[in-house]
Amino acid sequence: MRRKYSKFIGALGAIIYAGIFIHAPSFPTPDKLLVFAALVAMVFGQATELLKRFVPFVGLLLVYESFRGIVPSLNAHVNYGFMIAADKLLFFGHLPTKLLQNALWHGHVMWYDFVFYIAYMLHFVLPFALAVLIWKTREKHYWRYITTYITVSFAGFITFLAFPAAPPWMASGKGLIEPITRISSNVWYTLGIHDFPSVYNKLSPNPVAAMPSLHAAYSLLFALFATRLFKTRWRYLAWLHPLLIWVGTIYQGEHYAIDEIAGIIYAVLAYWSAPYVLSAIQKSWAAFSHKFLARNQKHAKVKAL
């Protein structure tokens, strides 16, 4: 009887949650995804197991985001010139954002703007969904997957702290580059996106966290893990996500090309180093657990005397 109630509550909660999202579209942030996934997992009697694995993942992402939000208070020197110079060097004196907008932006939202922006909104959704799939079908790879994302996130935070970097739309607003449109805002308003309360929304956003692009890094990791761990012929479709992100965020005015390149490099380094990071964490945890257990046993013996 108790399990039936749990299934009913999970199903009803998931339906209501999805209805709220459809009625008032909002950014699918990690905490919202965790709540929805937990409700669905209740239907299958696996909510506890899911929370054991995903609360640490989402919790660390929220810690990272809270750190990222305080960067402007710790380092107020915003860099504008390096990314502009780098992009012009790479593209023979032109900014790729301007080149793409000259070719694709016509002063109003087109169908492909929605395609690019939906890929942008899947920044957390696809990695979270793949994490669930890996947990259920490739569990031995789960913690390496999680460690890779956490590693690239905190490496990004350190860079944001040392080198706050303004995106193209901000540089354009200050007249440092030719006028460009922040197309993502136009799509956002057209879609009628709002937000319902979440922990993520309470964390201060950082508008000068453009270098490296974690959108580029996350999407590349998604494609790398999808193609490595799953042998279906359809796995190569996963590469559409990073391609749409890399082109779309430049076109929409969110990132320079050099931001994307830096994000790709960070992702590759995190993918390579994650096994070593995970091994170090496991050894540290084992040592801590051993000391903690030994201390408790010693205290128990003292009390027994």
Residue 298 domain-assigned (yes or no) = yes
Residue 48 domain-assigned (yes or no) = no
- Residues near 297 by beta carbon (within 8 Å), at least 6 away in sequence: none
Task: Using the predicted structure, report yes or no on whether residue 200 has a pLDDT greater than 50.
Answer: no
Question: In this predicted model, what pLDDT tens digit does every residue of 145-163 receive, in sequence order?
Answer: 999 998 998 898 889 888 8
Residue 41 domain-assigned (yes or no) = no
3-state secondary structure of 165: strand
> Of 62-76, 99-113, 181-195, which gets the smallest average pLDDT?
62-76
> Of 69-83, 144-158, 285-299, which gets the smallest average pLDDT?
285-299
More confident residue, 78 or 85: 85
Cα dihedral 228, 230, 233, 236 sign: negative
Residue 30 domain-assigned (yes or no) = no
Question: Residue 95 corresponds to which tokens in the numbers above?
Answer: 């900014």
Mean of the per-residue pLDDT values for the chain? 81
Residue 137 domain-assigned (yes or no) = yes
Residue 164 domain-assigned (yes or no) = yes
Mean pLDDT of 227-255: 92
- Residues near 263 by beta carbon (within 8 Å), at least 6 away in sequence: 212, 213, 214, 215, 216, 217, 220
Mean pLDDT of 23-38: 69
Task: Using the predicted structure, report yes or no on whether residue 91 has a pLDDT greater than 90.
Answer: yes
Q: What domain count does the chain have?
A: 1
Question: Residue 37 corresponds to which tokens in the numbers above?
Answer: 């996934």
For residue 157, the model assigns a pLDDT of 83
Torsions phi, psi for 15 (to 5 deg): -65, -45
Residue 128 domain-assigned (yes or no) = yes
For residue 139, the model assigns a pLDDT of 87
Mean pLDDT of 194-198: 53
SS3 content of the chain, % helix, strand, coil (to 5): 75, 0, 25
- pLDDT band of residue 72 (cuts 50, 70, 90) is low
Element (DSSP H or E) covering residue 205: none
- Its pTM stands at 0.80
Residue 1 domain-assigned (yes or no) = no
Q: Which domain holds residue 234?
A: 62-304
3-state secondary structure of 142: helix
For residue 296, the model assigns a pLDDT of 63
Mean pLDDT of 225-247: 92
* Maximum mean pLDDT: which of 57-71, 125-139, 199-213, 290-304: 125-139
Burial classification of residue 191, based on how many CB atoms lie within 10 Å of its CB (0-12 exposed, 13-18 middle, 19 or more buried) = middle
Distance CA 164, CA 70 (A): 11
Distance CA 261, CA 220 (A): 11
